[in-house]
Amino acid sequence: RGKKAFIAGVADDNGYGWAIAKSLAAAGAEILVGTWVPALNIFETSLRRGKFDESRMLPDGSLMEIARIYPLDAVFDSPEDVPEDVRTNKRYAVSSNWTVQEVAESVKQDYGSIDILVHSLANGPEVSKPLLETSRRGYLAALSASSYSYVSLLKHFIPIMNPGGSAISLTYIASERIIPGYGGGMSSAKAALESDTRVLAFEAGRKHKIRVNTISAGPLRSRAAKAIGFIDTMIEYSVANAPLQKELSADEVGNTAAFLASPLASAITGAVIYVDNGLNAMGVGV
C-alpha cells in the first residue's frame, strides 16, 4: 500500500515544502498539500499553466503529481476562530473549509487516512525587528503561525494518521544560538517548536505509535527567507564556515524528510535533525 502524505506550507517551487513533496513522491507517496489561502490562486494557476513543470521532474523522469491542494490557514483551528474581517476578505471569501479542523475533515473524507504529516510553514509579521523592539502582538503572532500551528495540525490529523506514521516540521538554529536579524519572536517560535517536538513525540508515540521529529535546516533562498532580508549573507556565511563548503540544496532536506518518514527511521522520534552542512557543530567561524 502506498503511503499518503499531507504537506502544509507549499505555495511555490522554491521552498522546503516543495522539495519534501518531491522526495516523498519519488519514494512512492501520494502527495496532498495545504496551501496558505492568500497564496492559493497564484499557486494553482502557476501549476496549471506548467510554470513548475521543470521542477516537478522526479529522478525517474516522471513529473510529481499533487493529488489535491487544500486551502489552509494554520492560525485558525475552527470556523469559530475566524474574525469577521478575515472571513469577508476577498482572498478568503472565495475559498472554504480552510481552518485546520476543516482541512483534516476534508482529507478524511477524501482519503480516509494519511501516514505522513509535514509542517513546513512559518510566519512572523515583525521578523525584521529585533526582539527588544517586538510587540506582544507580533511575538504572539509568530508563535501562533509558526509553533502552535504544528500542535494544532498534529492534534487534528492524529485521528486520521495510521499507526507507524511520522510527523516532521522545519526549524532553524536561531532557536538555540544568537542569529541577529531573525527577530520578531521567530527565534522564540523555533525554540517552542523544538521543545514541543519532544513533548509531542511522547504523547503521539505513547497513544498512537506516531513519530514526531523536526529538521533544523540550513539557509535556503525561499520566498519566506527572502522576505527576512539576510538570506544571501547567511548562505555565504555557511559556505565560508561550515565543515561542508557547498550551498545547501532543498533536495537534501527533502531526502532527509523522506528518510525520517520511512521505516528506516523507525526508532527516531523527538529528535532535532540537523541538515545544514554541519554548520551547527562549529564554535567559531574560520
Q: What does R_g of the chain's alpha carbons equal in angstroms?
A: 18
Respond yes or no: is residue 70 known to be catalytic: no
Q: Are 193 and 213 in contact (CB under 8 A)?
A: no
Q: Which residue is nearest to ligand NAI (CB)?
A: 15
Please, what is the minimum distance in Å from the beta carbon of residue 163 to ligand NAI?
26
At residue 55, the 3 state secondary structure works out as helix
Specify the DSSP element, H or E, that contains 78: none
Of the residues 27, 29, 217, 279, which one makes contact with ligand NAI according to CB under 6 A: 217
Residue whose C-alpha cell reads 485558525 in the numeric block: 76
| Cell numbers for 209 | 505509535
Of the residues 23, 187, 197, 222, which one makes contact with ligand NAI according to CB under 6 A: 222
Angle at 162 between CA 209 and CA 43, to 5 degrees: 120
Contacting ligand NAI within 228-267 (CB under 6 A): none
| Euclidean distance between CA atoms 12 and 15, whole angstroms | 7
Of the residues 219, 254, 271, 277, which one makes contact with ligand NAI according to CB under 6 A: 219
What is the distance, to the nearest Å, from the Cα of residue 48 to the centroid of all Cα atoms in its chain? Answer: 23
Contacting ligand NAI within 19-38 (CB under 6 A): 36
Query: What number of residues does the chain have?
Result: 286
Please, what is the minimum distance in Å from the beta carbon of residue 206 to ligand NAI?
26
Binding mask 140-179 for ligand NAI (x = CB under 6 A): -----x------------------------xxx-------
CA 252, 115, 79, 76 torsion: positive or negative? Answer: negative
Respond yes or no: is residue 182 known to be catalytic: yes
Please, what is the minimum distance in Å from the beta carbon of residue 225 to ligand NAI?
4
Tell me which of 16, 70, 172, 274 is the catalytic residue.
172
Please, what is the minimum distance in Å from the beta carbon of residue 196 to ligand NAI?
13
Residues 6+ apart with CB under 8 A from 55: 13, 18, 22
* Catalytic residue set: 172, 182
Residues lying near ligand NAI in the complex (CB under 6 A) are found at 9-11, 14-17, 36, 39, 72-75, 120-123, 145, 170-172, 217, 219-220, 222-225
